[in-house]
Amino acid sequence: GVESSLASTMAQLTKSLQRVAQAVQPRCSLLGYTQIAGNATAAGGGEGKGETKDEPSAASTARPQGWISKLLVGQAFNAEGAQKQSHSSLLSAGEYVYEFSTHNFRAGHESDYLKAFGNYVKASEKSLPSVELVGSWTVGYGRTQDQAIHLWRYKDGYKDVDNALRARKEDGALRAADAAAAQLCGRRKSILVKSFSYWGEPKPREASNVYDLRSYVLKPGSMIEWGNAWAKGITYRREANQDVGGFFAQVGQLYVVYHIWAYPSMSARNETRTNTWAKPGWDATVAYTVPLIEKMQSKILTPTEFSQLK
């Protein structure tokens, strides 16, 4: 009767609250700390009201973090040194730096542009051997048509970035190839990003896939919260091997996140995304991260012949 119906409703509400709590929990616990009134303390600390106890800090007693821990949840947060750690050191354990290069080529000149860009890739391989083109696509659906997006990997990090800046000024062949491609573009932009440690580095994929590039402009100061929530949320999105890479901006517009997903087709994309919503816990991840977003967009990409991500 009424009592059994009420009990069932309360049970469903309790499960929903538990899922939300699990999504909110990464805000603190995945990095091993809680933050209350601006003071960072070890999770689970406190003997009782008004009591204090002289004990070694969590930072001084913690064991060195293993690589498995870094892979799963990212580099551990040092509560006492919170103000001394940058977002990049907390969220990314690797040395690689990536560049997203966006070229708006002239309408009707896609084939000419791709030919010129291919020449630039060859010149770059000779001049900068430790810089590789990981992904290369043209936009099929999105806010901007007649657009190409390229993902470069700087294997030696910012040393390679410095080498690239120097080569673009001093290497005549590289400069000429760049100028030839630029003449076919109306606008170009490049940003530097790093990959989230819990996501891993992009790996080559066999043909054929469509790619979904999703970008999120976050509220300033919310990058750590986003990373912590997605460290758990990504586990709901790996069943179909659709996760390619997750990145956060270092140079360019800041507090921007990029996620790349791969699907065999647009139909498979729709089916995979629908199935994800059926997994308990994913709805809580979305409920926690959506308030952190100021703006977002999605672009459907088709690989070019130069892409390692086919």
The phi and psi torsions of 113 (rounded to 5 degrees) equal -65, -45
**Residue in this structure with the two tokens 């973090």, named with its chain if needed:** 65
DSSP character string of 197-243? TTT-----B-S--EEEEEEEEEPTT-HHHHHHHHHHHGGGG-TTS-E
Contacts of residue 253, defined as CB under 8 A and 6 or more positions apart, other chains included, come to 191, 217
- pLDDT band of residue 45 (cuts 50, 70, 90) is very low
Q: Say which residue, 18 or 185, is predicted with more confidence.
A: 185
Beta bridge partners of 99: 152, 192
The pTM (predicted TM-score) of the whole model is 0.74
CATH node for 97-303 = 3.30.70.100
Helix (H) or strand (E) holding 187: strand 185-195
Say if CB 210 and CB 140 are below 8 A apart: yes
**Domain residue extents for the chain:** 97-303
Q: Answer yes or no: is pLDDT of 12 > 90.
A: no
Rounded to whole angstroms, the Cα distance separating 245 from 202 reads 5
Say what the pLDDT of residue 148 is. 99
Q: For residue range 183-217, list pLDDT tens digits in order.
A: 999 999 999 999 999 998 999 999 889 999 999 99
Whether residue 81 is predicted with pLDDT greater than 70 in this model: the reply is no
